[in-house]
Structure 1
């Protein structure tokens, strides 16, 4: 029986990655403006504005800040994880996937990731390939 090769090491901790998954899921659940003429009182518009994606959204701001504050290696891993979960590579070619993420790295990592459809799903899928599940980290999310 052949032994599976060891999994690559991640620079970003699973706790941080799953925090981003949870926040991205919250952010991704928001809609575009449903009533651009609504008043400023959420109860007046049936609380619909709570789920609207607006400029200055606090969830996006927190997520953007959190990703921006990661060190460069953690940001590179995060992009590579998103690509892995999206199906752009496999765990077997992690080093190549990560090298490509490193070449593409710039100061727009947060903006790039937050514009990616299904970011939370892609990250969760990739983390599962590294043997991690959200259930492991539910109580310990930052």
Structure 2
């Protein structure tokens, strides 16, 4: 079950798209999340890139917690296509983020 707020995920997506100018802000934003939010964000990216199926989201979260070896911000920011993976993960879980995207623009 998704417990991280969709607006936080959308903020990460937005900052990841602007990585050249928003890298420091993205790193700080992710660092400020609690451990559960970081694990959920990682799990969303994994679902979005096809490493886990949507129905295995809870398992992905548990894996993110148990296998974390580097700071989450460093790991995610090193992931190719982070924004696209997060968008695909949200879509796969059936979370509509249209309202949150409009609020950022």
Determine if the TM-score, normalized by the shorter chain, exceeds 0.5.
yes
Q: Which runs of 5+ in 2 are unaligned?
A: none
Q: Following TM superposition, where does structure 1 have runs of at least 4 consecutive aligned residues deviating by more than 3 angstroms?
A: none
Deviates more, 1:103-112 or 1:132-141: 132-141
TM-score normalised according to structure 1 size: 0.68
Greater share of residues in helix: 2
Aligned length: 105
User: In structure 2, do the counterparts of structure 1 residues 138 and 126 end up closer, same or farther at CA, with 3 Å as the change threshold?
Assistant: same
Matched residue SS, 1:117: coil
Q: Which residue of 2 aligns with 1:22?
A: 14
- Which ranges in structure 1 are unaligned for 5 or more consecutive residues? 1-7, 31-57
User: Any idea what the Cα deviations from partners look like across 1:68-121, whole Å, max 9, x if unmatched?
Assistant: 000000000011111110100111111211111110235510011001000000
The partner residue of 2:3 within 11, 14, 35 is 11
Structure with higher Rg: it is 1
Give runs of aligned pairs for residues 1-142 of structure 1, distance below 5 A: 8=1, 10-27=2-19, 30=20, 58-106=21-69, 108-141=71-104
RMSD across aligned positions (CA): 1.8
CA distance in structure 1 between the partners assigned to 2:59 and 2:30 by the alignment: 22
TM-score for both structures, normalised by structure 2: 0.90
